[in-house]
């Protein structure tokens, strides 16, 4: 794969900036974004010069870099500015990083999700830095009256070697900020990177470890009132009436009223998902007072009739069937089995039916995955202040630009009159993509004509959606008399979405391949969960491939490598969405690392590999089972995510993915009984604990010059199957149903 071009025209830069979160004429004030310490004030520039939307330079050489996308723990608030600083040739020690606010006129794609932030921002971020550097060079050339070709840079310094003159960036910033953007902007060769590829500390690290305000839950505003909501106790119910007389008489309670967050006729965009729209809002002077008032409110609920929900999928009209009724575990299971009996063909290569008829051996296995809750550590919250036709908001969300559009429609206020400040997310991975609580906060503020801080309790969040879908997949494999794989069939579906990716491996590596899918409508709202759909498909596909490898009497890594080498040399079909060569290199590196590190006595190794979100990941996991308790000794994680911006941060992200996936695979489960979730807090929804985390995690990256791709999500899915395959070797039992703890108990 080729690397980024070394030059971009001005027109291309403008287009790239618009697509990835940039603008040339944005004004940001560092002083407006934080409260500097006395020491910082001593070195604070008297004046900032705006070079472009990402960069402001002080007259003393201090540089402010704006990070455009929300920070949710994936460290892009450090990594994105590193990319800008690299091309700017900045001195990182003299860089201040600030979170950019939402600006829908000058920034787009100012959101996180799908592990796309770095990938889609790569060119624009580099070009922003390179453009600023070029402007500084032009300013120095003009000031010194020398050809620009004679000007070079050192970190933060302009140099004219012939005359032995130097100037830090701040000395040329005022002139550079007034100069026209050059037509062509040279970008660095990858071999010349000085910042990218080196480890930099999280720019928020000190604030995080010292408890400084960073998160939405920390946000305070003078005169702010507190609010909470009450939603139906079961999915499938709606509010009929309520009595708040007692609550209204309680100390500190200002009002209790009903709100409607989204109107019924509104065509919801992709991220306007919400379980309940008719809610009871309580407003008071403190969180504690509001929580006590919630207990004093009595409400009557009724079964919500089925309906068709209007949807707008990025300009394409769609609809969602929302059936009537209170769903339960068994009724859901029956409907899924019925749907699985009549699937739709999604992809077909060769003649699968004949392959299975001619097979010497057929392997079959069925897998299931439950609903899952996100359980973000920071409760859902948002601040909103609606004053006439203007709105000020602040809080944690992943898709501020898209939520702003819905907010404008709901309030009837022009989008240009809405300001959204982005705080650090205390957990997300999909949950904060659907910021209905922002709209709720704004509707409450509009009703109260006051600044409102809406806070969800843990119970509010876990019992009110939004969950990962419930899934099921049935696999069949056909082997010939030589134990070669000649046929592969997957029948997968879910409630309410189909998880299958029909063009991913092993598609393209099997001559006779059939992928079928199905869906079951549900009134339980679902949405993005870390590595959507891939988190289930990787678990089951890689578990099944392990079973095929065993039946073929082949090493599990070699078995996958043989298939991938076939897909590389003689691919089946034309729509395979993975690069077999990159996939092979990941597995080969995993094989080398596992050969270097033998399994300790008493442990059993399972492996897995998966492609998603433009990246490749392979996992080896060593575990043992004693009296039903799993102890994980070591995990070896290998990834190809292209160029690694910040190695230590990348390792941290991968280690977090491993721990997160192990906990979800072992314990994650949400069931429903008559519409009521089986758990509403951590006492009922099991999370991984410290002793259950791996004793050691080793992370390796395939070195290449491919433009950066995803990392926060690709490192997660293959861990499930690596654990399942390790548990099989430890117990002799295939782990087919999540959470695995249930099978360990039997």
**Given its phi and psi angles, is residue 240 left (phi above 0), alpha (psi -120 to 50 degrees) or beta?**
alpha
pLDDT at 13: 36
The CATH topology of domain 470-745 is Aldehyde Oxidoreductase; domain 4 (3.30.365)
pLDDT band for position 38 (cuts 50, 70, 90) = very low
> Would you say 540 and 473 are in contact if contact means Cβ atoms under 8 Å apart?
yes
> Cis link prior to 253 (omega < 30° from 0)?
no
Residue 3 has pLDDT above 80, yes or no: no
Chain position carrying tokens 């491919």: 706
Q: What is the mean pLDDT of residues 33-48?
A: 51
pLDDT band for position 465 (cuts 50, 70, 90) = confident
Kindly report, residue by residue over 336-373, the tens digit of the pLDDT.
999 999 999 999 999 999 999 999 999 999 999 999 99
pLDDT band for position 107 (cuts 50, 70, 90) = low
Q: What is the mean pLDDT of residues 601-630?
A: 96
pLDDT band for position 106 (cuts 50, 70, 90) = low
Q: Where are the chain's structural domains?
A: 7-209, 216-308+380-455, 470-745
Q: What SS3 state is found at 94?
A: helix
> How many residues are listed for the chain in this entry?
746
Mean of all residue pLDDT scores within the chain: 91
CATH for the 7-209 domain, from 3.30.365.10, 3.40.640.10, 3.40.50.920, 3.90.420.10: 3.30.365.10
What distances in angstroms separate CA 56 from CA 134, 264, 420, one per listed residue? 14, 45, 21
Residue 33 has pLDDT above 80, yes or no: no
pLDDT band for position 426 (cuts 50, 70, 90) = very high
pTM: 0.91
Task: Let me know the angle formed at the C-alpha of 122 by 97 and 428, rounded to the nearest 5 degrees.
Answer: 65
Q: List beta partners, residue 278.
A: 260
Residue 24 has pLDDT above 90, yes or no: no
Residue 156 has pLDDT above 70, yes or no: yes
Residue 121 has pLDDT above 90, yes or no: no
Residue 56 has pLDDT above 70, yes or no: yes
pLDDT at 23: 25
pLDDT at 474: 98
Give the span between the Cα atoms of 360 and 320, in whole angstroms.
44
Give the span between the Cα atoms of 287 and 305, in whole angstroms.
34
Backbone phi, then psi, for 221, in 5-degree steps? -145, 140
What distances in angstroms separate CA 130 from CA 8, 292, 379, one per listed residue? 10, 56, 40
Give the span between the Cα atoms of 518 and 339, in whole angstroms.
6
For 66, the enclosing helix (H) or strand (E) is strand 63-67
Domain 216-308+380-455 belongs to what architecture? Answer: 2-Layer Sandwich (3.30)
Tokens for 190, please give them: 């990858």
Tokens for 598, please give them: 């033998």
Q: What is the mean pLDDT of residues 426-451?
A: 94
Q: Could you tell me which residues come within 8 angstroms of residue 41 by beta carbon, excluding any fewer than 6 positions away? A: none
Give the span between the Cα atoms of 619 and 714, in whole angstroms.
11
Residue 37 has pLDDT above 60, yes or no: no
Helix 647-667 vs helix 717-731: crossing angle, to nearest 10: 50
**7-209 and 216-308+380-455: identical CATH topology:** yes
Kindly report, residue by residue over 5-19, the tens digit of the pLDDT.
333 343 333 333 333
Task: Report the range of poorest mean pLDDT among 36-40, 318-322, 555-559.
Answer: 36-40
DSSP label of 198? S
Q: What percent of the chain has pLDDT over 70?
A: 93
Give the span between the Cα atoms of 142 and 705, in whole angstroms.
36
Give the span between the Cα atoms of 389 and 320, in whole angstroms.
32
């Amino acid at each position: 794969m080729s690397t980024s071009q070394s030059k971009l025209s001005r027109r291309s830069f403008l287009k790239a900036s618009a697509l990835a979160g940039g603008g040339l004429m944005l004004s940001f004030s560092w002083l407006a974004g934080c409260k500097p310490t006395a020491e910082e004030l001593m070195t604070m520039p008297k004046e900032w010069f705006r070079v472009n939307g990402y960069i402001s330079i002080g007259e003393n050489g201090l540089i402010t870099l704006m990070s455009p996308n929300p920070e949710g723990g994936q460290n892009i608030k450090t990594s994105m500015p590193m990319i800008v600083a690299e091309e700017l040739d900045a001195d990182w020690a003299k860089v201040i990083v600030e979170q950019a606010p939402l600006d829908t006129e000058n920034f787009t794609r100012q959101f996180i999700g799908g592990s796309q932030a770095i990938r889609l921002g790569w060119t624009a971020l580099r070009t922003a830095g390179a453009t600023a550097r070029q402007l500084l060079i032009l300013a120095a050339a003009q000031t010194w009256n020398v050809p620009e070709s004679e000007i070079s840079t050192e970190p933060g310094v302009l140099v004219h070697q012939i005359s032995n003159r130097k100037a830090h960036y701040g000395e040329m910033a005022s002139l550079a900020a007034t100069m026209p953007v050059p037509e062509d902007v040279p970008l660095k060769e990858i071999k010349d990177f000085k910042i990218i590829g080196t480890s930099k500390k999280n720019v928020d690290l000190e604030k995080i470890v010292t408890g400084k305000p960073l998160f939405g839950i920390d946000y305070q505003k003078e005169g702010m009132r507190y609010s909470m909501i009450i939603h139906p106790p079961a999915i499938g119910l709606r509010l009929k009436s309520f009595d708040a007389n007692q609550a209204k008489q309680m100390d500190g309670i200002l009002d209790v009223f009903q709100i409607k967050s989204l109107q019924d006729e509104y065509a919801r965009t992709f991220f306007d998902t919400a379980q309940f729209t008719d809610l009871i809002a309580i407003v008071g002077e403190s969180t504690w007072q509001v929580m006590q008032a919630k207990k004093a409110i009595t409400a009557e609920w009724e079964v919500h009739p089925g309906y068709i929900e209007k949807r707008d999928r990025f300009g394409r009209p769609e609809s969602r069937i929302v059936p009537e009724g209170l769903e339960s575990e068994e009724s859901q299971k029956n409907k899924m089995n019925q749907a699985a009996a009549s699937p739709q063909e999604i992809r077909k290569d060769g003649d699968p039916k004949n392959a299975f008829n001619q097979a010497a051996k057929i392997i079959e296995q069925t897998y299931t995955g439950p609903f899952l809750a996100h359980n973000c550590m920071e409760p859902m919250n948002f601040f909103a202040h609606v004053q006439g036709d203007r709105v000020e908001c602040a809080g944690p969300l992943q898709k501020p630009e898209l939520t702003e559009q819905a907010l404008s429609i709901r309030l009837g206020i022009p989008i240009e009159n809405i300001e959204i400040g982005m705080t650090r997310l205390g957990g997300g991975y999909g949950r904060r993509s659907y910021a209905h609580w922002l709209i709720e906060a704004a509707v409450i503020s509009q009703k109260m004509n006051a600044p409102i801080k809406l806070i969800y309790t843990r119970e509010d969040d876990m019992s009110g959606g939004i969950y990962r879908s419930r899934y099921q997949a049935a696999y069949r494999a056909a082997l010939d008399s030589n134990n070669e794989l000649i046929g592969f069939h997957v029948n997968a579906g879910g409630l309410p979405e189909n998880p299958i990716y029909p063009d991913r491996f092993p598609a393209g590596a099997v001559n006779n391949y059939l992928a079928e899918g199905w869906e079951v409508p549900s009134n339980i709202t679902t949405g993005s969960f870390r590595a959507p759909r891939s988190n289930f498909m990787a678990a089951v596909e890689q578990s099944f491939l392990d079973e095929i490898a065993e039946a073929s009497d082949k090493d599990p890594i070699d078995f996958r490598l043989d298939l991938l080498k076939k897909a590389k040399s003689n691919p089946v079909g034309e729509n395979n969405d993975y690069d077999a060569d990159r996939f092979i290199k990941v597995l080969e590196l995993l094989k080398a690392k596992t050969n270097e590190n033998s399994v300790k006595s008493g442990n059993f190794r399972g492996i897995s590999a998966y492609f998603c979100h433009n990246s490749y990941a392979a996992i080896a996991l060593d575990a043992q089972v004693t009296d039903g308790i799993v102890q994980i000794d070591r995990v070896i994680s290998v990834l190809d995510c292209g160029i690694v911006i910040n190695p230590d941060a990348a390792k941290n992200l991968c280690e977090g993915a491993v721990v997160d996936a192990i906990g979800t695979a072992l314990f994650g489960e949400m069931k429903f009984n008559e519409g009521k979730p089986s758990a509403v807090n951590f006492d009922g929804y099991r999370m991984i604990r410290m002793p259950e985390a791996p004793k050691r995690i080793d992370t390796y990256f395939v070195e290449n010059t491919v433009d950066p791709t995803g990392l926060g999500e690709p490192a997660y899915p293959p861990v499930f199957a690596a654990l399942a395959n390790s548990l099989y070797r430890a117990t002799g039992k295939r782990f087919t149903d999540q959470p695995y703890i249930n099978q360990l108990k039997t």
